Structure 1
Amino acid sequence: MASAEAAALSSSSSLETDSAPVPETVGTAAAAAVAAAARMGPGARVSKAALATKLLSLSGVFAVHKPKGPTSAELLNRLKEKLLAEAGMPSAELTKRKRQTLKIGHGGTLDSAARGVLVIGIGRGTKMLTSMLSGSKRYIAIGELGKATDTLDSTGKVTEEKPYDQITQEDIEGILQKFTGNIMQVPPLYSALKKDGQRLSTLMKRGEVVEAKPARPVTVYSLSLQKFQPPFFTLDVECGGGFYIRSLVSDIGKELSSCANVLELTRTKQGPFTLDEHALPEDKWTIDDIAQSLEHCSSLLPAELALKKPKPEDSQEHGLSCEYITLNETKGEDGEIKTC
């Protein structure tokens, strides 16, 4: 599904962390190991202990390029496993140093069918993710006229088909102003929004009856038609948190006396992070590359965000959930982990 949705997709701008508190200081020996690793040339052999220490010292916010396929949570787990493996700390054989833990999370969920910028917090950077969710996001969405689905995107079951031959480019451009500015929007049933602690999408997949959430205020800063080749149309959208591109495309189809769903969705920008300039592809998910990215991206963020803790009410509003994985613990057979 394509949530772009700036929010739950971060859906409703959701923020998830899979991690554990990093020590406020890394001790003298640890600092020395990091310095030694930094002095080594690219051809030098870096010990696993030095890599582990460097990993645990990482703190800040960076971005990765999420491909189509995995969910945001699955991608976060893949990233975590890569880093632990590089540092010689596979999750099944975690070190016994209880005080040294890895905290990592993402803010602004993207559905499995969507691709693009996914903001990641590591160490104390996880405290900044809620603030990141309040910034603007930008998307390129390809919609398909004439078909409606239960998920509002191409992954769902077709629920309705209507003619679209009469729709022109001018028709689409003429209605976009209705969806620009401060508007009211009904979130999709298939979303990361929750009812009684469970995601609506999970309840829907179980076949349970789910009532639509009431319309809520959202903001669209800019909206333009980039291309129209019936039945497909391409939109460039910049919006605030809590906005769903799938709902937008569906509403546009209805406004045109037809129907529509999202065929492709790409998030090109989240806050100050852009897909082209800041999002690390998977082959760059290494401790050194992330350290360099954290340094590069530090200039993008207000200094006061670095140590700012999200308020309890903010965490609830944005669906904040945290996992704490200590380096000497693994998930139980039932998959249960500590959550905040």
Structure 2
Amino acid sequence: MASARLTRLHGLFAAYKPPGLKWKHLRDTMELQLLKGLNAGKPPAPEQRVRFLLGPMEGSEKKELTLTATSVPTLTSHPLVRGPVFTSLKVGVGHRLDAQASGVLVFGVGQGCRLLTDMYNAHLTKDYTVRGLLGKATDDFCEDGRLVEKTTYGHVTREKLDRILAVMQGSHQKALVMYSNLDLKTQEAYEMAVRGLIRPTNKSPMLIIGIRCLHFAPPEFLLEVQCMHETQKQLRKLVHEIGLELKTTAVCTQVRRTRDGIFTLDDALLRTQWDLHSILDAIQAAAPRVAAELEKSLRPGLDTQQVPSPRWPWDSEGPSSALGLESDVGH
């Protein structure tokens, strides 16, 4: 039974990483839970071997001893002698989350670790919700960092914030085209843009595909960010830069990943589901979607029929500010 489960234990699944937990500790926990599940099955019946045991002779009044052929179990295969059958398992982690961040964290098991490399090469986008707090600045852009400045924020409005976010999104869209090395005058480039398949050819700075404000109640605000090649530190610094553009200061109070490629919060296993049975079900459910997404992203078969004429959103002469574009690269 354990061997049958092991043959199915190849693929990708997602788990929800709580804040305050390091990704490596979560990976080790997943491996431990999988090994525990594989070794928890009922062990097979021990093999029997024939041994000649010394015993009393039947019908003998003088209690004479004789050797009798007896079938006894072989203890060399007993779990208490041999130990657990499975002692290690290959478990890989996709786009990592730092200790302070939370949300969707993708794992690969067995041959599924190769798919993690394919996901990395596909440059899939990720979604985050980022919570900010106006009026403070710290040395590490986090709320619990060392306070370096306090400012007023009464002049900040939702309209001003939305305007800053629109400028930022426009500058990053132009940067995305630049890093994709596409000729905007070609039909192929337009078809890829229509299908959302424009990707950088190599590693690039953090690129924001979309950003909007979900909630604004000063001093707090909540952003939804769709991006690629980011680190959680860069997202926290993004909140700091938004505060500066609003002529105030801001710190980040929460970074939560809500989607990584095809995996969303609905796919992420909670702590109570970190067991072999739930992980097997998650791998089987995600397998067809993973294959379809990688096929589309790594080998996009573009249908050139019934595509309208190009109207590029970045053709207009808008602000060219490079807000948030960093020279450091991170996944």
Q: TM-score, normalised by structure 2?
A: 0.61
CA distance in 2, matches of 1:291, 1:155: 39
Among residues 28, 31, 44, which one is paired with 1:77 in the alignment? 28
2:213·2:223 contact (CA, 8 Å) conserved in 1?
yes
Q: Distance in 2 between matches of 1:182 and 1:302?
A: 32
Match of 2:139 in 1: 150
In terms of Rg, which structure is larger?
A: 2
For the 8 Å contact 2:262–2:293, the answer to whether it is kept is: no
Q: Which amino acid aligns with 1:110?
A: L
1:253 to 226, 230, 243: 243
Change (3 A) 1:169 1:182: closer
Q: Give 1:160 shift.
A: 2.1
Structure 2 residue 184 is the aligned partner of structure 1 residue 233: no
Deviations 1:96-127 (A, max 9, x none): 879x8410011111122221110111111111
Q: What do the CA deviations read for 1:20-60 (whole angstroms, capped 9, x no partner)?
A: xxxxxxxxxxxxx3xxxxxxxxxxxxxxxx2x762475111
Q: TM-score, normalised by structure 1?
A: 0.60
Q: Is the 8 Å Cα contact of residues 61 and 122 (structure 1) preserved in structure 2?
A: yes
- Structure 1 residues not aligned, in runs of 5+: 1-32, 34-49, 185-215, 307-316, 320-340
Counterpart amino acid of residue 36 in structure 2: A
CA RMSD of aligned residues (A): 2.8
Where in structure 2 are the equivalents of 1:300-319 lying within 5 Å?
A: 300-302=289-291
Give the match for residue 280 of structure 1. Answer: 269
Quick check: 157-166 or 218-227, which moved more? 157-166
Contact 1:55 1:287 in 2 (8 A): no
What is the match of residue 126 of structure 1? 113
Distance (whole Å) between structure 2 residues aligned to residue 101 and residue 238 of structure 1: 36
Structure 1 runs (4+) deviating above 6 angstroms are: none
Aligned to 2:153: 164
C-alpha distance in 2 between matches for 1:64 and 1:289: 11
Q: 1:271 aligns with which of 261, 273, 288?
A: 261
SS in 1 for 2:229: coil
* Residues matched between the structures, number: 224
Identity of aligned residues (%): 33
Report the CA distance shift for 1:234/1:94 in structure 2 as closer, same or farther (over 3 A).
Answer: farther
Map of 1:191 onto structure 2: none
Residue 159 of structure 1 aligns to which amino acid in structure 2?
A: V
Unaligned runs of 5+ in 2: 41-80, 174-203, 296-328
d(CA) in 2 for partners of 1:279, 1:55: 21
Using the alignment, how far apart are the partners of 2:27 and 2:12 within structure 1?
A: 14
| Structure 2 partner of 1:175 | 164
Q: Distance in 2 between matches of 1:83 and 1:217?
A: 36
For residues 212 and 163 of structure 2, the distance between their equivalents in structure 1, rounded to whole angstroms, comes to: 10
Structure 1 distance, partners of 2:110, 2:259, is 23
- Per-residue displacement from partner, 1:206-246 (whole Å, max 9, x unpaired)? xxxxxxxxxx6332111111111111111011111235321
Q: 1:94 to 1:59 in 2, by over 3 A?
A: farther
**Which residue is equivalent to 2:5?**
54
Q: Deviations over 1:163-203 (max 9, x none)?
A: 2121111111111122214539xxxxxxxxxxxxxxxxxxx
CA separation in 1, counterparts of 2:21 and 2:153?
Answer: 32
Matched residues in 2 for 1:273 and 1:113: separation? 20
8 Å contact kept, 1:64–1:119 = yes
